[in-house]
Amino acid sequence: MRGDSPRRLIVLRHGETTHNAAGVWQGQLDSPLSERGVAQAEAAARALAEFAPVRVVASDLSRAAVTGETVARVDGIPLSTDERFREIHAGAWQGLTGAEVRASYPEDMDKLLRGDDFKRGGHGESVADVAQRCRAGVDALLEELAPGECAVIATHGVAGRALAADLVGIDQRTSWLALAGLGNCHWAELVEGRAGWRIQTWNHSAATASTRDDGVA
C-alpha cells in the first residue's frame, strides 16, 4: 500500500441483459441491457457515488460498457474500456440456454459443479485464462490509482469473481465453490491493506449499500 490511505476497487457486474432474462449463456456475445438492466445501472451509479470513485474502467462488451458509462455519467468521472475485462469466452455454449448446455454437455456440467476448470464449450476459455488477462488489466489500472483513490471496474460475473479471487490470493476452485456469483449490478469492494488486498464486501447492490460495513470497531 502506498501512503496511509488505502486504495479501493469496486468490481461491478453489468446490469441484467435480454440473455440473462432468458437464461442464455452469453460469454462474449454482445447482448444489450434489458429495461430492468438500465434501471439497475442507474441505481448502482447513484449508490456508488458514496465511494467517490475517480474513474471507471469497463469491459468493451456493450452490457458492461453501458453499465460503466452510466456510472461515469452519474458520478461525473472519466470512463475507459479494456477488453481484458471481458466475460469468459464460453465457446460452443454461447447462445444456448442452460438446459441446452446440460443436455448436450452433461459431463462438462458435472465438472463445472465440482469446481473443475476447463475450456468452456470446447474452444472457449478456462477461468485460469480469464484470471490471467483480468489481472493484467487490474495491474495496469493500479499503476494509475493514487493512495486513497477508488476505481470502478464494470465487468461480468465470471470475470469479476476471477479477478477478485486472483487479487486477494484465493485459488480459483475455492472461489468458484465458496463465493456466490455476483448478481446483476451487484459489486465487490476490495480494499488495499499493508499485507495486500482483501474483500471488504461481496455481492452488495444499491438495495444493500446503506448497510455497508467499513470494518471499523
**Cβ atoms within 10 A of the Cβ of 183, count?**
15
Place of cell 444489450: 32
Q: How sure is the predictor about 209, in pLDDT bands with cuts at 50, 70 and 90?
A: confident
Q: How far apart are alpha carbons 139 and 134 in whole angstroms?
A: 9
Sequence length of the chain is: 217
Catalytic residue among 16, 42, 69, 87: 87
Instruction: Please give the backbone phi and psi of residue 117, each rounded to the nearest 5 degrees, phi first.
Output: -110, 135
pLDDT above 70 as % of the chain: 94
Per the annotation, the verdict on 19 as an active-site residue is no
- Greatest alpha-carbon span in the chain: 54
pLDDT surpasses 70 at 213:
no
**3 with 67: CB under 8 angstroms?**
no
Catalytic residue among 14, 89, 186, 204: 14
Q: Model's pTM, two decimal places? A: 0.93
Query: What per-residue confidence (pLDDT) applies to 211?
Result: 52
CATH superfamily of the 8-209 domain: Phosphoglycerate mutase-like (3.40.50.1240)
Per the annotation, the verdict on 50 as an active-site residue is no
